[in-house]
Structure 1
Amino acid sequence: MKKKFKLSFAFLAFAICSTASAEMAFPIPAIPQLDAESYILIDAKSGEILAQYNAEQQRDPASLTKMMTSYVIGQALQSGRIKNDDMVVVSKDAWATGNPVLKGSSLMFLEVGKTVSVANLNKGIIIQSGNDACIAMAEHVAGSQGAFVNLMNEYAKKIGLEHTHFETVHGLDAPGQYTTAKDMAFLGRALIRDLPNEYAIYKEKEFTYNLSKPQLNRNGLLWDTTLNVDGIKTGHTNAAGYNLVASAVDGNTRLISAVLGGRTFKGREEESKKLLVWGFRFFETANPVKADSALVNQTIWYGDQNKVPLGSLEGAYVSVPKGRAADVQVQYTIDNYIYAPIAKGTSVGKIQFLLDGKVINEQSLVTLQDVQESGFFGTICDWIVLQFNKLFG
């Protein structure tokens, strides 16, 4: 069940910065100014936005599109619809010499009529940013590029990308194709969360196919020894500028940055690093409620058991100033009486997270197991007790 965080980072920052300076190691400085058209920094676990500028400005995605191509492929692999050792026949459309659209773009250098494994094509998409590999995989997964694009847009809706629409499988500029820095960051979050096997490919630094020399991953931050970056994707066209979605881990905290409309190839890396360094230096991720761990056992009426455990199915994560994770307090409210039958994951109330007495975030309080309805006599007994409870309790 998806968490619904309702409070903005601006409120979080206000709540935190309004406390006495003695309660903090040091204040949180202003968000760094970047040389880019739009950018965002999010906490991958909590989903909270830590910094943003023009984050919902409509932009050309360029090869960031391949993150969604990869997401669709990862879902197909995870569901068993395709397998890594499937062999794909390269069509004329996936052959650079036969498709003028691909001329001068990034390629895996596929040859028409040859067969290539899904595993190699997937690496060609992620590591080499091969536009030809995208076409070959789109045809293998969905039968045509058009059908695959439809899948991309369907998944975009499911993930909650409200300002993104795809027209191509590879990201070369096309009318009607657009995204935002915010949507790309949250697409990266979905990729990391939903498809760990697929995401593991993003940290690979090179891949060799059909060339004497290996092609290097275009995400230069993978070589940065001061950050533990393990993805995600670069992109560039004349219309888009230089784009980079990057993710790094420090302890229990994973951050995702998205920088769109950067000025130069290296500049997008430098600006992304500024965001990530700022985020790790001043924030960390708290985990005050563990996954499937009962926060409370609450009375349930008409059920085949008297109590139902309530908590969070996936665990609760909250972004807090560095060094304050242990200070997060938890409180909860229950909306009403709880009745059986009820399914695991049903929202019955609210969990709130407090720092220095102020609510900094909240999410749904849900049932942690199914509870079936009791038999006839159990229902009658519960009804009688419930009436007394409502009258006198």
Structure 2
Amino acid sequence: MKLINYCIKYYYKILINLVLIIPCMMYPYISYSHKNIFEIVSKPDLKAKSYILIDYSSGLVLAEKNADIHHNPASLAKVMTSYVIEKAIKLGKIHRNDIITISKNAYYSGNLLFNRSSLMFLKYGERVSVKNLIKGIILQSGNDACVAMAEYISGNQDNFVNLMNFYSKKIGLTNTFFKNVHGLDELEQYTSARDMAILGIVLIRDFPQEYILYKEKEFTFNKIHQINRNLLLWDKFLNVDGIKTGHTNIAGYNLIVSAKKYNMRLLAVILGETSEKNRTLESKILLNWGFKNFKTINPLIKYKKFGSLPVFFGKNNSLSIGVNKNVYLTIIKSQEKNLQIVYFVNYNKIIAPIHKYQILGSINFMINNHILKSYPLISLQEVPRGNIFICIFDYIRLLLSNWLDQ
């Protein structure tokens, strides 16, 4: 019996080695045109100093102007403040029902820094819940609420600002640096339209349930009723559900806004406009332009089979293939019919064993020879090596296949 097993293993190794010396040819790469297919759609002409329009799902930038120049964030900084707060809650450092005693630093009266700025109107010594302070930051843009939460989470504002800058780097903001927790003008504090769009995307992605709060239109605290300054929340045609306004004399009028329509979510950022009316109008123009001309599609689902490939020397003679993440593409509506899916396998013969989720090649999504996106092509199943009889049969198949290909 031992002799039989030895012979099987011996001949099995010989067959595998013979297969390995059979020339394996890489699939040829095709040279694609670099012409931007989106240039056929004329972009809106806006007067804002800086703006960007981006698709949430695909990350594709549809329109931009000076999107990387530094600009004072004003209250858009509160989006990062809110992000850090939600991180602290998620990590269990604080809870929404915690009660905070308001310090002198967060007391609006007599604080020159808060003079004529957006406030929740907190009073020294009063006790306020975390969930109400979060509403005060998001809906009332309360600078005092930012200070109260920063001190509660980090002990002081400087430590909290360090957290803001830590998360900025972690999520990939390359043109942003914070100096305070509320966004009031300060030297060396800056952001960019692109960074604010990225921050908005990450906020929605990481905290989808908490993000629901951003579409609320009003909040009353201490009998003071305030309206959300994002006027697009009242628009009857755009399904706007966030995110934040900002204004100082130096920054001008800023706005980061998100809207969802036709299963497509777009984010628009306007920086440095001259009036509240203009930032609202130009954001609306960007969003309407995006929804009118583009659509987001989801052609492939993560880990869902879309095809199969033959396997040699395996227990199975084929394997299911797919992708390791959901595929989202932003395309011009009129070009959907031109979409092509082309995949390449690294070698022209797939030899077992194959591991589950092993990268086998790549899959490209193309329109008019322009690659929109590329993803790894993966195996969705494990294929162990077959027995000696399978190996002999597949070896013969390989010889015939190579002979016919000549």
Query: Which TM bucket (shorter chain)?
Result: 0.7 to 0.9
Question: Do 1:330 and 1:353's aligned partners in 2 also have CA atoms closer than 8 Å?
Answer: yes
Stretch moving more, 156-165 or 295-304: 295-304
Q: Does 1:241 align with 2:266?
A: no
Cα separation, 1, equivalents of 2:79 and 2:352: 43
Aligned to 1:25: none
Of the three residues 40, 43, 62, the one matched with 2:55 is: 43
| Aligned partner letter, 1:233 | K
Partner of 2:149: 137
Alignment equivalent of 2:120, drawn from 108, 120, 128: 108
What corresponds to 2:95 in structure 1? 83
Amino acid at match of 1:263: T
In the alignment, does 2:208 pair up with 1:196? yes
Aligned-residue offset at 1:71? 1.3
- 1:56 shift after superposition: 0.9
Give the counterpart of 2:326 among 315, 325, 328: 315
Q: Distance in 1 between matches of 2:298 and 2:79?
A: 28
Deviation (angstroms), 1:136: 1.3
Checking the alignment, whether the CA contact within 8 Å between 1:88 and 1:116 is kept in structure 2 is yes
Contact 2:74–2:247 (CA under 8 A) maintained in structure 1: yes
Alignment match, 1:22:
none
Q: Normalized against structure 1, the TM-score is what?
A: 0.82
Alignment equivalent of 1:31, drawn from 18, 43, 51: 43
Question: In 2 relative to 1, CA 370–184 (structure 1 residues): closer, same or farther, beyond 3 Å?
Answer: farther
Deviation (angstroms), 1:10: 6.8
Aligned equivalent of 2:178: 166
1:117-156 equivalent positions in 2, closer than 5 A: 117-156=129-168
- Opposite residue 283 of structure 2, the aligned amino acid is S
Taking structure 1 as reference, are residues 240 and 299 closer, same or farther at Cα in structure 2, changes over 3 Å only?
A: farther
Question: 8 Å contact 2:364–2:373 — kept in the other structure?
Answer: yes
Q: Distance in 2 between matches of 1:8 and 1:128?
A: 49
Distance 1:348 1:121, change over 3 A: farther
SS at 1:93 equivalent? helix
Q: Which residue of structure 2 aligns with residue 288 of structure 1?
A: 299
The SS at the match of 1:254 is strand
Deviation at 1:349, TM superposition (A): 3.6
Query: Where in structure 1 are there 5+ consecutive unaligned residues?
Result: 1-6, 18-27
The structural deviation recorded for 1:77 is 2.4
* Contact 2:322–2:380 (8 Å) recurs in 1: no
Q: How far, CA to CA, are the matches of 1:171 and 1:109 in structure 2?
A: 17
Inter-partner Cα distance in structure 2 for 1:305 and 1:86: 57
Q: Contact 1:348/1:364 (CA < 8 Å) preserved in 2?
A: no
Distance 1:100 1:281, change over 3 A: same
Change (3 A) 1:327 1:239: same
How far apart in 2 are the matches of 1:368 and 1:150? Answer: 43
Residues 108 and 133, structure 1, Cα contact 8 Å, conserved in 2:
yes
Q: Tell me the SS of whatever aligns to 1:174.
A: coil
In the other structure, the counterpart of 2:7 is none
SS in structure 2 opposite 1:97? coil
- Residues 355 and 379, structure 2, Cα contact 8 Å, conserved in 1: no
Q: Using a 3 Å threshold, how does the CA distance of structure 1 residues 79 and 350 change in structure 2: closer, same or farther?
A: farther
**Residues 52 and 86 of structure 1, relative CA distance in 2, 3 Å threshold:** same
Match for residue 11 of structure 1 among 27, 36, 50: 36
Percent identical among aligned pairs is 46
Post-superposition shift, 1:75?
Answer: 2.2
CA–CA distance in 1 between the matches of 2:172 and 2:315?
37
Aligned counterparts, 1:177-188, within 5 A: 177-188=189-200
CA distance in 1, matches of 2:388, 2:112: 75
What is the one-letter code of the residue matched to 1:132? D
Aligned residue among 80, 94, 98 for 1:68: 80
CA contact (8 A) 1:9 1:50 kept: no
Conservation of the 8 A alpha-carbon contact between 2:343 and 2:377: no
Aligned to 2:374: 363
Distance 1:93 1:129 in 2: 17
Residue 116 of structure 1: SS of its match in structure 2?
A: strand
Q: How many residues align?
A: 368
- Could you tell me which residue of structure 1 aligns to residue 265 of structure 2? 254
Q: Spell out, residue by residue over 1:137-162, the C-alpha distance to the aligned partner (whole angstroms, 9 max, x if none).
A: 12222232222212211211222111
Q: Match for 1:223 among 229, 234, 242?
A: 234
SS at match of 1:214: strand
Assess if the C-alpha contact under 8 Å between 1:350 and 1:362 holds in 2: no
3-state SS of the aligned residue for 2:105?
coil
Pick the aligned partner of 2:221 from 194, 197, 209.
209
Shift of 1:186: 1.3
Decide whether the 8 Å contact of 1:42 with 1:255 is kept in 2.
Answer: yes
* CA shift for structure 1 position 359: 2.6
Amino acid of the structure 2 residue aligned with 1:224: D
SS in 2 for 1:235: strand
Look up the equivalent residue of 1:81 and give its one-letter code: K
2:119 counterpart SS class: coil
| Structure ID, larger Rg | 2
Distance 1:330 1:117 in 2: 52
Larger displacement relative to structure 2 (328-337 or 68-77): 328-337
Say which SS state the counterpart of residue 331 (structure 2) adopts.
strand
For residue 94 of structure 1, what is the aligned residue in structure 2?
106
SS of residue paired to 2:104: coil
Gaps of 5+ in 2: 1-31
Aligned to 1:57: 69
Give the Å deviation of 1:302: 11
Distance in 2 separating the partners of 1:387 and 1:153: 59
TM-score, length basis structure 2? 0.80
* CA RMSD between the two structures: 3.3
2-structure distance, mates of 1:38, 1:285: 25
